[in-house]
Chain A
Amino acid sequence: MSNSIHSFASSEGKRPVAAISNRPLLELRNLSTNYISARGRRVVRAVDDVTLTINAGETLGIVGESGSGKSTLALTILRVLPPAAHIVGGQMMFEGEDLVQKSDAEMRRVRGKRIAMILQDPMASLNPLFTVGDQVAEPIRVHEGASRATAWRRAIGLLKAVRIASPETRVRQHPHEMSGGMRQRIVGAIAMSCEPRLLIADEPTTSLDLTIQAQYLNLLRELQREHGLALIFITHNLGIVAKMCDQLAVMYAGRVVESGPVSRIFNAPAHPYTEALLNSIPRMGDNRERLTAIEGQPPNLASLPPGCAFAPRCPVAFDRCRAEAPPAMDLGAGRTARCWLAVPAAAEAGLQDGAV
Chain B
Amino acid sequence: MAVMEAVGLTKLFPGRRGFFGGGGGTVRAVDGVSFAIEGGQTLGVVGESGCGKTTTARLVLGLEKPTGGAIRFEGCDLQTLDAAGRRHYRKSVQAVFQDPYASLSPRMRISAIIAEPLVTNESPSAEELSRRVRQLLDLVGLPAHAADLFPHEFSGGQRQRIAIARALSLSPRLVVLDEPVSALDVSIRAQILNLLRDLQAELGLSYLFIAHDLAAVAHMSHTIVVMYLGKIVETGEAQELSRAPKHPYTQALFSAALPSHPDERRDEIILSGEVPSPLNPPSGCRFHPRCPRAMPVCGVEEPTLRDVEGHLVACHLYDMGAGGRGLGET
**A contact set with B: CB distance below 8 Å:** 6, 8-11, 65-66, 179, 181-182, 209-215, 218, 236-243, 245, 262-263, 266-267, 276-277, 280-285, 287-295, 297-298, 313
A218 near B259: Cβ-Cβ < 8 Å: no
28 A-B Cβ contacts within 8 A?
A9-B264, A66-B185, A209-B48, A210-B256, A212-B48, A212-B274, A214-B256, A238-B186, A239-B259, A240-B258, A242-B264, A243-B259, A262-B262, A263-B263, A266-B263, A276-B187, A277-B186, A281-B189, A281-B190, A282-B193, A282-B220, A283-B260, A284-B254, A285-B239, A290-B197, A293-B190, A294-B187, A294-B191
A267 and B262 alpha carbons, distance in the complex (Å): 9
Chain B's nearest CB lies how many Å from the CB of A150?
31
Report the separation of the CA atoms of residues A262 and B239 in the bound assembly, to the nearest whole angstrom. 28
Which residue, A263, A284, A298, has most C-beta atoms of chain B within 10 A? A284
Residues of B within 8 A of A262 (CB): 262
Whether the Cβ atoms of B214 and A210 lie closer than 8 Å is: yes
Q: By the criterion of a CB under 8 Å from any partner CB, how many residues of chain B are at the interface?
A: 47
**B197 contacts which chain A residues (CB < 8 A)?**
289-290
Contact A282 B275 (CB under 8 A): no
C-alpha spacing A65/B185, complex, angstroms: 6
B260 touching A210 by the CB < 8 A rule?
no
A236-B185, A242-B258, A297-B155 given. 18 additional CB < 8 A pairs?
A9-B262, A215-B271, A215-B272, A241-B262, A242-B259, A242-B260, A242-B264, A243-B259, A266-B261, A277-B186, A282-B190, A283-B260, A284-B254, A284-B260, A285-B242, A291-B219, A293-B191, A294-B188
B194 at the interface (CB under 8 A from A): yes
Complex CA gap A236/B156 in Å reads: 15
Q: What does the 1/0 interface line of B200-232 toward A look like (CB < 8 Å)? A: 000000000000111110111000000000000
Task: Note all chain B residues with C-beta closer than 8 A to A267.
Answer: 263
B257 and A239 within 8 A (CB)? yes
Q: Which of B272-287 contact A (CB under 8 A)?
A: 272, 274-275
Q: Indicate if the CB atoms of B216 and A9 lie closer than 8 Å.
A: no
Which residue on chain A has the smallest CB distance to residue B290? Answer: A211
A282 to B263, CA, bound (A): 17
If the complex has contacts A239-B259, A298-B155, are A281 and B215 also in contact, measured as CB distance less than 8 A? yes
Contacting residues, chain A, for B219 (C-beta < 8 A): 282-283, 288, 291
Q: Does B98 contact A (CB under 8 A)?
A: no
| Contacting residue for B186 out of A182, A266, A280, A284, CB 8 A | A280
On whether the beta carbons of B259 and A297 are closer than 8 Å, the reply is no
Asked whether B67 is an interface residue with its Cβ less than 8 Å from the other chain, the reply is no
Chain B residues near A285 (CB-CB < 8 A): 218, 239, 242-243
Q: How far is the CB of A142 from chain B (nearest CB, A)?
A: 31
Q: What's the Cα separation between A285 and B48 when bound, in Å?
A: 21
Tell me whether A298 and B190 are in contact in the complex, defined as CB-CB below 8 angstroms, given that A215-B270, A284-B254, A284-B257 are known contacts.
no
Hey, which chain B residues are within 8 Å of A284, CB to CB?
Answer: 214-215, 218, 242, 254, 257, 260
Cβ-based interface call for B253 (8 A)? yes
Q: CB-CB < 8 A to A266: which residues of B?
A: 261-263
Does any Cβ of A come within 8 Å of B49's Cβ? yes
Residues of B near any A CB (own CB < 8 A): 48-49, 155, 157-158, 185-191, 193-194, 197, 212-216, 218-220, 239, 242-243, 252-266, 268, 270-272, 274-275
- Measured between alpha carbons, how far is A292 from B190 in the docked complex, in Å? 7
A/B pair count, beta carbons within 8 Å: 138
Q: How far is the CB of A290 from chain B (nearest CB, A)?
A: 5
A-B complex: 10 closest residue pairs judged by Cβ atoms: A239-B258, A214-B256, A282-B219, A293-B190, A280-B190, A291-B190, A209-B48, A65-B185, A293-B191, A283-B260
Query: CA separation between A65 and B155, bound complex, in Å?
Result: 13
Chain B neighbourhood of A209, CB < 8 A: 48-49, 212, 275
Q: Which residues of B contact A283 (CB under 8 A)?
A: 215, 219, 260
CB contact under 8 A between A211 and B252, given known A6-B268, A65-B186, A283-B260: yes
> Does the CB pair B256–A9 fall under 8 Å?
no
Scoring B157, B187, B212 by chain A CB atoms within 10 A of each residue's CB, the highest score goes to B187
Q: How far is the CB of B161 from chain A (nearest CB, A)?
A: 11
Q: Which of A9, A182, A292, A294 contacts B265 (CB 8 A)?
A: A9
How far in angstroms is the closest Cβ of chain B from A298? Answer: 5
Q: How far is the CB of B156 from chain A (nearest CB, A)?
A: 8
Is the CB–CB distance between B186 and A297 below 8 Å? no
Residues on the B chain within 8 Å of A288, using CB: 219
A211 to B257 CA separation, bound complex (whole angstroms): 8
Cα separation A212 to B157 with both chains bound (whole Å): 29
CB distance from B205 to the nearest CB of A (A): 16
C-alpha gap A9/B272 in the complex (Å): 21
Q: Once bound together, how far apart are the Cα atoms of A238 and B259, in whole Å?
A: 9
Closest B residue by C-beta to A291: B190
What CA separation (Å) do A267 and B255 show in the bound complex? 22
How far is the CB of B84 from the nearest CB of chain A, in Å?
39
* CB closest residue in chain A, given B46: A210
Q: Which residue of B lies closest to A214 (CB)?
A: B256
Query: Is there contact, CB below 8 Å, between B239 and A287?
Result: yes
With beta carbons under 8 angstroms apart, the residue of B157, B218, B255, B257 that contacts A297 is B157
A267 to B264, CA, bound (A): 12
| Set of chain A residues within 8 Å of B257, measured between Cβ atoms | 210, 239, 284
Q: Is the CB of B254 within 8 A of A211?
A: no
Q: Closest CB of chain B to A2's CB: distance in Å?
A: 15
Tell me the minimal C-beta distance from B188 to chain A in angstroms. 7
A213 near B256 with CB under 8 A, answer yes
* With A11-B262, A282-B215: A298-B188 Cβ-Cβ less than 8 Å: yes
Q: Tell me if A243 and B187 are in contact (CB < 8 A).
A: no
Contact A210 B263 (CB under 8 A): no
Write out the residue numbers on chain A whose beta carbons fall within 8 Å of the beta carbon of B255.
214
Residues of A within 8 A of B271 (CB): 211, 214-215
Query: In the assembly, what is the distance between CA of A243 and CA of B270, in Å?
Result: 14
Determine whether the beta carbon of A10 is less than 8 Å from that of B263. yes
B201's nearest neighbour on chain A, judged by CB, is A289
Whether A9 pairs with B155 at a CB distance below 8 angstroms is: no
Whether the Cβ atoms of B187 and A65 lie closer than 8 Å is yes
CA distance A88 to B206 in the complex (A): 53
- Least CB distance from A161 to B in Å reads 16
Take A290-B197, A293-B191, A298-B188 as given contacts and tell me if A239 and B49 are in contact as well, using a CB distance cutoff of 8 Å.
no
